[in-house]
Amino acid sequence: MRVARAVESGAMGERPDSERAYRVMGILNVTPDSFSDGGEWFAFGQAVEHGRALVAQGAAILDVGGESTRPGSDPVPEPRERERVVPVIAALAADDAVHAQLSVDTMKAGVAEAAVDAGATYVNDVSAFRHDPALADLVAERRCDCCLMHMLGEPKTMQADPRYDDVVDDVRAFLAGRVEYALSRGIDPARIQVDPGIGFGKTLEHNLELLRRLGEIAALGFPVVLGTSRKSFLGRLTGRHDPHERVAAGLATNVLGFERGASIFRVHDVAQTVDALAVAAATVRRP
C-alpha cells in the first residue's frame, strides 16, 4: 500500500509521541441541535464571541460546524449549513486577535469551498471523503489540512447495533484505506490527520477498546485527532446525565490519549484541557 511506502520513506508526518507538541481544537457548533451545546452559540454574535473566548483559553484550532452529527441527527441542506458557518468563519478570520487555525466541520464540498474562501484552512470530514468525493479534490487543490474520521454508516443510523470483528483492527484498516484514497487524490500526506471516531457507531466497550489501543491507530504514522468531549459513553461510566458535567471524565480520556499517541484534542472545554495536557506533557516528557 502507498500508506506503508509513505511511512518507510518518511513522506508522512512522524508518529506523534510524548515529546512532540499537541494542539487543542475548540468546538464551535453553530447549530440548534448538537448533543451537548445545541443552541448555545447558534446566534452569529454569540458564536463569534465564543470563538474568541476559546482562542483566549488556548485553542490552536477552531472547528466551526453547522450540521449536528449526533446519533440520530437529520442532515442539513447545504445552503442552510453554509449560511450558518461561513459568516462566523469570515468574522473570526478578520479578527486580528484570533490566531487559531480555522477549521470547517462538514461533509459537503460546497460548504467547505465557501468556508475556505472565507478563511478556513482545515477541513474536518466525519465521512472521510465518502459522502462527497469532490471534497478530497478541494482539499488537494486548496492545500488544506484535513481530518479523516471513522464512522459506521451515517449519523442517523450509526448507533443501531454497531458490530465489528475487532474494533481497533477494523477502524485502523478503514483509516488506512481512506488515507490511501486521500493520497490518490493528490492530498499532501503532511496535511492528513486521522480520527478513530469515538462514539460514531461504537458501543461503550468499543470506545474503551479504542482508547486502550490508541497506539495502534497512531502507528499509521499520521497525527491522531481524539474527540471524546462530553460524549454519552462518559455519562454511562460516571452517571453524569448532563453533558456539561462530564468535563473531568473527558480530561481523563485526553490525558490517556496523549500518552498513547494522540496529538490533537477536539473539545468543548478548552481551558481545562490545556491545563490537563500541560501537566501530562511535563510528566511524560523525558528530561
Which residue is catalytic, options 84, 172, 260, 266? Answer: 266
* CA proximity to 269, closest of 21, 61, 26: 26
DSSP code of 126? T
Please say whether the beta carbons of 32 and 66 come within 8 A. no
Count of residues for the chain? 287
Q: Rounded to an integer, what distance in angstroms lies between the CA atom of residue 64 and that of residue 123?
A: 10
Q: Rounded to an integer, what distance in angstroms lies between the CA atom of residue 145 and that of residue 122?
A: 5
| Pairing of the two strands 23-29 and 262-267 | parallel
Q: Rounded to an integer, what distance in angstroms lies between the CA atom of residue 68 and that of residue 114?
A: 19
Residue 58 C-alpha cell reads as: 488556548
Residue 239 C-alpha cell reads as: 452517571
State yes or no: is 70 an active-site residue. no
Backbone angles phi, psi at 178, to 5 degrees: -70, -35
| Cα dist from 162 to 23, 73, 205, 234, whole Å | 30, 17, 11, 18
Q: Rounded to an integer, what distance in angstroms lies between the CA atom of residue 20 and that of residue 218?
A: 13
Which residue is catalytic, options 231, 240, 246, 260? Answer: 231
State yes or no: is 231 an active-site residue. yes
How many Cβ atoms are within 10 Å of 244's Cβ, its own excluded? 12
Which positions are annotated as active-site residues? 231, 266
